[in-house]
Structure 1
Amino acid sequence: MEPSTSAAAAASGSQSSPSPDASPGAGPAVPASPLLATPGAVPGEGADESVAAHYGDLFREQRALADGTGIVDLSHRGVVTVTGDDRLAWLHLLLTQHVSELPAHHAAEALVLSAHGHVEHALYLVDDSTTTWIHVEPGTQDALIAYLNSMVFFYRVEVADRTGDTAVVHLPAGSIAETPEGVAVRETAYGRDLFLPRADLEAYAGAHGPLAGFLAYEALRVEGHRPRLGFETDHRTIPHEVGWIETAVHLEKGCYRGQETVARVQNLGKPPRRLVFLHLDGSEVHLPGHGTPVRLTPGADGAEGRQVGFVTTSARHHELGPIALALVKRNTPVDAPLLAGDTAAAQETVVEP
């Protein structure tokens, strides 16, 4: 796939777009965020088109997030709730994570796998003692809800799509912004995700700025080596390949769909691909887009250089310069010089070979 270009990418110096065979590619099923009316706001692309890519100064927005200030509009993400007395025990049977005894207000990350162990959904959840709140990739909530409803059987649970009335807002780690009373909060080492009433989005953002665009959030995600469904994944991704085996999979819990593949690869095999972090040559004007081939530098493996993978997300970082995540073949030498398209790249290991 050739790198894509857009007004947002050209203005910000950063590009990322979902895999063509990933469900987020169709874009979000929510109206455009009211924060797009902010002076200087430039809309995102594809799955992120309903929120601002940036507000005119990408690096200033990144620095604000790194300093623990600012707010990121994630109102395009799907929001799903599960209520009922059996909700955690029931979710425990379906997800890769151990959630049957999840403490109230404790954040968790989990996956839904296919029968063959391929990643279908990535869930970011928290339970407030009466309701399990989940946010997912834009546009994927319908398919997730359909699957969950098909598995209810006799359990006392109710699944609801709350995307229309709930907006996710991200506050960076160290933020002193207040959380409104009654709002569910998912707190991690990277910051807080608030499940805010959508009607309160403008007022809350106005009181707790400055605003940081989605590309600033993405640059810090790439720096943190955190995979994103539909970007670092495709239809055949297994959790081991992108590092989710450490953060979203509990290796000692009971049976769930796809567990056989997880156990087999964990105990007997090795994943066919691995996620790497790339430092890109800063002299290049354009970043390699999603799907750009990653090759061994010519001379490292034959005159032409052998393709070993592809770029998943690229970004311009306020300190590191141009960076990217990529999926490469497991046996790619960890010290091999690479080319991302025509751009020289030095790799850092994310998933051990």
Structure 2
Amino acid sequence: MTATDPRGTAVSDAFVVRTPTRRVDVTGGDRLDYLEDVTSQALKGADAGTVTSSLYLDPHGAPLAMFDVAVLAEKVALLTPDEAVATTLVEVLGGRTFLSQATFELTDDVVIVLRGEGAEEVAKHANLSTRPGTVRPAGDAFVIGRDDGALDIVGPAELIEDIHGLLTDAGAREGSDEDLEAWRIAAGVPGWGTEVTPPHLPEELGLLPSHVHLAKGCYPGQEAIARMWMLGRPRRRLAVVTPTAGTVHLGWQAGSGRQQVTVTSMSPQGDVALAFVPGDAAEGSSFADEDGNSIEVARVIGADPQPPGADPAVTRRRDKART
């Protein structure tokens, strides 16, 4: 719930916290063309001021790196979950540009995020509101708009400290890693190293709507994505689940084979989790182990029948009536 104190400052459940996110800048005249060629997202000709997400995949379609792509006027900023992923982009993608004019450089910038109920009001009071899917400058920093008023702010440490103060003055509280993890799980955001791990493919992870453009071709891992989309179906899907009976913990499993369920992330409060569930699971599906401990699917992540680039005129094998 959000209220306003007598001074007009937002008082909310929104929080601000620093993250391990790292920034890699890509410069050079071929920067977008090169990223188009080697990642899962349609980036060629992307407009300055836009933000999307992408993956670098192995030949079998498993993610080797995930990152956000902020298109700035003279460069592209790639925001990675941690320094290890940033290093992969710099050393692997940056080391294979060949004749392309694209240079990768890890920066010293730091990142804070604004999340939680009331984030939109806090952002307005701090004069930092930014539309979802866009990026705008804030001095030497830049602000990325997310859904529900959430923000990512990227820039030099000293400036970010000042912006952090603006947000707390506007009503956000000082958050913690636990706050951010609880928000991530409830929002159904797959985590690098927890859910986004080999051998899981993007469709199983629910990343087709946000990180992949299905009309693209000829990038590493593309064939595996297209083969599952057109000719197969996921054996498992990532879902937001709620414990309904007994004790469910991180790593909890039920069933086996195609019906196996595995909890991969659990909120600090234990009231919501992320889990891989059978590919045919839907909202309301329930699963229990032999001791009666059980979960229920609240939402299957990324269950979009027409993700970006999908051709509605093409009938996939999974769409055909079974005889």
Q: Does structure 2 retain, via aligned residues, the 8 Å contact 1:288–1:341?
A: no
The aligned residue for residue 279 of structure 1 is 242
The aligned residue for residue 264 of structure 2 is 312
Q: Does structure 2 retain, via aligned residues, the 8 Å contact 1:81–1:132?
A: yes
Q: Would the alpha carbon gap of residues 282 and 201 (structure 1) be closer, same or farther in structure 2, given more than 3 Å must change?
A: farther
- Residues 319-352 of structure 1, C-alpha deviation per residue, up to 9 Å, x if partnerless? xx71000012325686233349974321234155
Within 5 Å, which residues of 2 pair with 1:265-344?
265-281=228-244, 288-289=249-250, 292-296=251-255, 308-316=260-268, 322-331=271-280, 335-339=285-289, 343-344=293-294
Letter paired with 1:200: L
- Residues 51-109 of structure 1, C-alpha deviation per residue, up to 9 Å, x if partnerless? xxxxxxxxx9xxxx9947431211x2222110112111111111101111211121101
The aligned residue for residue 151 of structure 1 is 96
- Looking at structure 2, the residues matched to 67 and 98 of structure 1 have their Cα atoms a distance apart, in angstroms, of 37
- Looking at structure 2, the residues matched to 105 and 224 of structure 1 have their Cα atoms a distance apart, in angstroms, of 25
The aligned residue for residue 130 of structure 1 is 74
The aligned residue for residue 315 of structure 2 is none
Divergent runs of 4+, >6 A: none
The aligned residue for residue 213 of structure 1 is 176
The aligned residue for residue 38 of structure 1 is none
Q: Would the alpha carbon gap of residues 240 and 324 (structure 1) be closer, same or farther in structure 2, given more than 3 Å must change?
A: same
- Looking at structure 2, the residues matched to 111 and 152 of structure 1 have their Cα atoms a distance apart, in angstroms, of 17
- Residues 104-133 of structure 1, C-alpha deviation per residue, up to 9 Å, x if partnerless? 121101011101111111111211111111
Q: Does structure 2 retain, via aligned residues, the 8 Å contact 1:105–1:186?
A: no
Q: Secondary structure at the match of 1:206?
A: helix
- Looking at structure 2, the residues matched to 114 and 102 of structure 1 have their Cα atoms a distance apart, in angstroms, of 24
Q: Does structure 1 retain, via aligned residues, the 8 Å contact 2:236–2:258?
A: no
- Looking at structure 1, the residues matched to 46 and 229 of structure 2 have their Cα atoms a distance apart, in angstroms, of 24
Gaps of 5+ in 2: 3-9, 129-137, 304-317, 319-323
The aligned residue for residue 199 of structure 1 is 158
- Looking at structure 2, the residues matched to 281 and 271 of structure 1 have their Cα atoms a distance apart, in angstroms, of 25
- Looking at structure 2, the residues matched to 97 and 253 of structure 1 have their Cα atoms a distance apart, in angstroms, of 8
- Residues 165-204 of structure 1, C-alpha deviation per residue, up to 9 Å, x if partnerless? 2001112341223453132222221522111202334333
Instruction: Using the TM superposition, give the Cα deviation of residue 293 of structure 1 relative to its aligned residue in structure 2, in angstroms.
Output: 3.1
Sequence identity of aligned pairs in percent?
24
- Residues 139-188 of structure 1, C-alpha deviation per residue, up to 9 Å, x if partnerless? 321122111123211111110011xx200111234122345313222222
Q: Would the alpha carbon gap of residues 337 and 113 (structure 1) be closer, same or farther in structure 2, given more than 3 Å must change?
A: same
Pick 1 or 2: higher relative contact order, CA cutoff 8 A, min separation 6. 1
Letter paired with 2:202: P
CA RMSD of aligned residues (A): 3.1
* TM-score, scaled to structure 2: 0.76
- Looking at structure 1, the residues matched to 87 and 291 of structure 2 have their Cα atoms a distance apart, in angstroms, of 35
- Looking at structure 2, the residues matched to 228 and 66 of structure 1 have their Cα atoms a distance apart, in angstroms, of 29
The aligned residue for residue 114 of structure 2 is 171
Is 2:204 the partner of 1:237?
A: no
Letter paired with 2:143: V
Aligned length: 274
- Looking at structure 2, the residues matched to 105 and 236 of structure 1 have their Cα atoms a distance apart, in angstroms, of 34
Among candidates 80, 105, 118, match of residue 160 of structure 1: 105
Gaps of 5+ in 1: 1-59
Q: Secondary structure at the match of 2:53?
A: strand
Letter paired with 1:185: V
Among candidates 214, 220, 228, match of residue 251 of structure 1: 214
- 174-183 vs 141-150, greater mean Cα deviation: 174-183
The aligned residue for residue 135 of structure 2 is none
- Looking at structure 1, the residues matched to 187 and 15 of structure 2 have their Cα atoms a distance apart, in angstroms, of 18
- Looking at structure 1, the residues matched to 280 and 103 of structure 2 have their Cα atoms a distance apart, in angstroms, of 45
Letter paired with 1:218: E
Q: Does structure 2 retain, via aligned residues, the 8 Å contact 1:273–1:327?
A: yes
The aligned residue for residue 310 of structure 2 is none
Within 5 Å, which residues of 2 pair with 1:33-72?
67=12, 69-72=14-17
